[in-house]
């Protein structure tokens, strides 16, 4: 006796001998939205994740402003105006590591094995995770701007410029997240994603002008700071939120984002396909 392996017309079934059913673009978007929502509601069961997107950025802002502000800029108010855009950049780049950590956790816990048996787009788990993390990063940026406003920071440009700054930071974070995805697919434990991230992102963010003026650094260090992509992004964000050059640092940031995505997105997608 043979087993019935065909599905009814229009019915999604995992028993189709020809392979998984073709998923339409509209269905793919729906799957991405569902899995992104899954990542967001997990916060209810893992409140510690709020530390990365809520408590930690606010703590960084308070510590840098009131511990280093007077020594670096002469007053906390002046330093807040200078440093808040840089802290936004630094925190957003650090939190891209959560994308790789979350994917690696799902992989090691067998979540992808269960998703693979469902008639969903193969790209949905990856895209859903990235979309959810971008939403969390937007929340973190909004909280830092809110606390900054309470402390005395003011957007001195305009609402469109502020939205452009938000979009630029998130776009850059999206490109960097491909590095996190690649690492998350290659390492055996989620903790190793964080180790790699701190090894790479920690020096990049601190050896930039995110927290201090380039002119105050030794000459040999200034050469690296000026070509550091984090410097370009911090300058662009500062110019869009407060004042200063905008066009050149924005274009440099966009070029860096495009270059990083062009190199690491194909590598990350191929590694993801091999795993799932």
Q: Classify residue 108: in a domain, yes or no.
A: yes
Q: Classify residue 10: in a domain, yes or no.
A: no
Domains held by the chain: number: 1
Q: Classify residue 208: in a domain, yes or no.
A: yes
Q: Classify residue 93: in a domain, yes or no.
A: yes
Check: CB of residue 233 under 8 Å from CB of residue 165. no
Domain interval for residue 197: 25-275
Q: Classify residue 117: in a domain, yes or no.
A: yes
pLDDT digits (tens, 9 = 90+) for 37-67: 888 887 777 766 667 677 888 888 999 899 9
Spatial separation of the C-alpha atoms in residues 258 and 252, rounded to whole Å: 10
pTM, to two decimals: 0.85
Spatial separation of the C-alpha atoms in residues 198 and 131, rounded to whole Å: 23
At residue 272 the predicted structure's pLDDT band, cuts being 50, 70 and 90, is confident
Q: Classify residue 14: in a domain, yes or no.
A: no
In sequence order, which residues have a C-beta less than 8 Å from that of residue 60 and are 6 or more positions away?
Answer: 87, 90, 91
pLDDT digits (tens, 9 = 90+) for 112-164: 767 767 777 777 888 888 999 999 999 999 999 999 999 999 999 999 999 99
């Amino acid at each position: 006796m043979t087993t019935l392996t065909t599905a009814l017309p229009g019915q999604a079934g995992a028993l189709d001998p020809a392979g998984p059913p073709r998923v339409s673009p509209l269905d793919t978007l729906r799957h991405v939205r569902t899995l992104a929502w899954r990542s967001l509601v997990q916060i209810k069961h893992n409140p510690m994740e709020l530390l990365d997107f809520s408590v930690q950025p606010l703590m960084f802002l308070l510590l840098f402003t009131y511990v280093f502000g007077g020594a670096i800029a002469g007053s906390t108010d002046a330093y807040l105006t200078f440093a808040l855009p840089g802290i936004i950049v630094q925190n957003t780049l650090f939190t891209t590591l959560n994308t790789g950590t979350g994917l690696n956790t799902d992989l090691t816990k067998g979540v992808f094995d269960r998703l693979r048996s469902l008639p969903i787009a193969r790209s949905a788990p990856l895209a859903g995770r990235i979309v959810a993390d971008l939403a969390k990063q937007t929340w973190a940026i909004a909280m830092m701007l809110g606390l900054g406003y309470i402390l005395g920071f003011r957007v001195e440009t305009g609402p469109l410029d502020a939205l452009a700054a938000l979009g630029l930071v998130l776009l850059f974070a999206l490109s960097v997240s491909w590095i996190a995805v690649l690492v998350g697919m290659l390492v055996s434990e989620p903790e190793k994603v964080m180790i790699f991230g701190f090894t790479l992102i920690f020096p990049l963010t601190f050896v930039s002008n995110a927290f201090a003026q380039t002119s105050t650094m030794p000459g040999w260090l200034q050469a690296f700071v000026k070509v550091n992509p984090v410097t370009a992004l911090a300058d662009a964000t500062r110019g869009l939120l407060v004042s200063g050059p905008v066009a050149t640092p924005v274009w440099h940031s966009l070029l860096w984002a495009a270059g990083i995505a062009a190199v690491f997105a194909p590598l990350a997608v191929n590694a993801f396909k091999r795993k799932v």
